[in-house]
Amino acid sequence: MLNNKIDSFLNFMSVERGASENTISSYKTDLLQFSNFVTQLSETSNKDNSGTVSPAGIRKFALNLGSIGLKASTRSRKIASVRSFFTFLHDEGLIDSNPAQEISLLKLGRSLPHVITIEQAIRLVSTPTSRVSSHIAVRDEAMLQLAYASGLRVTELVNLDTDDLDMEHKRVRCLGKGRKERVVPFHDQAAKRIEEYLRSSRHNIVKYQTKKALFLNQRGFRITRQGFWGILRKYSKLAAIPTKITPHTLRHSFATHMLQGGAPIRHVQELLGHASISTTQIYTHLTTEFMREEYESTHPRAKRKPNFVKSFH
């Protein structure tokens, strides 16, 4: 019975809230895990025959998440999913009281996103065609160049169709979270790689079923998120970048490098498709550290810290 309510919640989040497929998938995973857990507790009356869940059952679920070794961020997300679920049920009148109302979220320290340097980013996105001469290498470089040039999320990147591109004005239209549309520019170098891919490579691998998809895999179908992740791992290794890179690393690096170059934070917020500027502001911490490093390496007195500090007393 609880699973039926989960289906109603997921439908609500998709239809009414416009949540992305990835968000819906995360909710489903978290809530099915919760449903399985409380089902196993049925003999202790934390879940009765009508599918009612008690606050104690939710607390035990939260404790169990810690006991199985999940990271604090993952545990917090799963608890938040359960809270959102029961808030929906209560608001819809499907339950008389909200058992998750008093369940607190974990307090997490805010971690800074991982970025690579400008030099590493340029080396990465230029690696495919410098190492291999093939249709696939041309595709890979076009994808990497566009990802770093635009800051698109990986889902936005792989879901692009050919008619989302405006090559004349060098911009791309994408659907972000909540199916909100935005238009993002890209630079000349990315445009050249995309044009080369469209002109000389894409038609060699396209299939009828995916004739609109921009980026295709070797079988001619739309490339997946996992497929792009594999491309990124391959070329980060070839580019000898000594750090782990994920698709989001390019997005983080795009935002950080834009701010380092002097772009207004509101501009970067719009390019990233952030609903709130507070989400974008985390990148200012990274640029502050960048300015400190630049100061230490360029100011003639910076390396004489004792004298520099004394001058302020």
Does the annotation mark 251 as catalytic? Answer: yes
Task: Name the active-site residue from 27, 148, 197, 283.
Answer: 283
Which residues in 147-266 belong to E strands, given as ranges?
165-166, 171-175, 181-185
Does the annotation mark 283 as catalytic? Answer: yes
Q: How far is CA 117 from CA 140, 181, 232, 287, in A?
A: 20, 29, 16, 12
Task: Name the active-site residue from 153, 193, 202, 252.
Answer: 153
| Sheet with 165-166, side-by-side order of all strands | 165-166, 171-175, 181-185
Does the annotation mark 192 as catalytic? Answer: no
- Taking each helix axis from N to C end, the angle separating 188-200 and 135-150, rounded to the nearest 10 degrees, works out to 150
CA dist., res. 287 & res. 280, Å (int): 12
Task: Please state the φ and ψ torsions of residue 224, each to the nearest 5 degrees.
Answer: -100, 170
Q: Distance from CA of residue 267 to its chain's centroid?
A: 19
Task: Name the active-site residue from 187, 248, 285, 304.
Answer: 248
Task: Name the active-site residue from 60, 114, 177, 225.
Answer: 177
- Rg of the chain over all Cα atoms, to the nearest angstrom: 24
Task: Name the active-site residue from 75, 251, 252, 257.
Answer: 251
Does the annotation mark 235 as catalytic? Answer: no
Is the separation of the CB atoms in 186 and 125 below 8 Å?
A: no
Give Cβ neighbours of residue 229 (< 8 Å, ≥ 6 apart): 154, 246, 247
Is the separation of the CB atoms in 288 and 116 below 8 Å?
A: no
Residues that are catalytic: 153, 177, 248, 251, 274, 283
